[in-house]
Amino acid sequence: MEWFGVRCIIQLAEGAYEERVTLWKAPDADEALARAEAEAIDYAADNDGTYLGLAQGFELFDEPGDGAEVFSLTRRSDLEPDEYLDAFFDTGDEQQEEA
């Protein structure tokens, strides 16, 4: 059994999108993804949302613990660093607490 981090995207009723990374212990990526998608469907229903059908998995290199990497996604882009962050992560529409 291996550990997998799986990111699923949920559209919430209030017009927001939530990216969730959940942790699964499974024999392979296919089972981890299937279990994460089933959980995402339930989570979306419980929150008046819709699971958008996108699940991305990552097999952990180590056991989960303090500082363990639980998800990683590499994307190629020609954008400059500030433009990349603005396009994908800091659009101004995020609901997050100020540091």
Task: Rank 21-25, 65-69, 85-89 by mean pLDDT and report only the highest.
Answer: 21-25
Note the pLDDT of residue 86: 84
The CB density around residue 8, as the number of other CB atoms within 10 Å, is: 24
pTM for the whole thing?
A: 0.81
pLDDT over 70 percentage in the chain: 92
- Asked if the model's pLDDT at residue 99 lies above 60, the reply is no
Interval 14-51: pLDDT, tens: 778 888 999 999 999 999 999 999 999 999 999 999 99
**Predicted pLDDT at 89:** 75
pLDDT band at 53 (very low <50, low <70, confident <90, very high): very high
Residue 10 φ/ψ, nearest 5 degrees = -120, 135
Each domain of the chain, given as residue ranges in start order, spans 2-61+71-88
User: Any bridge partners for residue 7, and if so which?
Assistant: 21, 56
Check whether 76 has a pLDDT greater than 70: yes
Start-to-end CA distance of the chain, whole Å, equals: 37
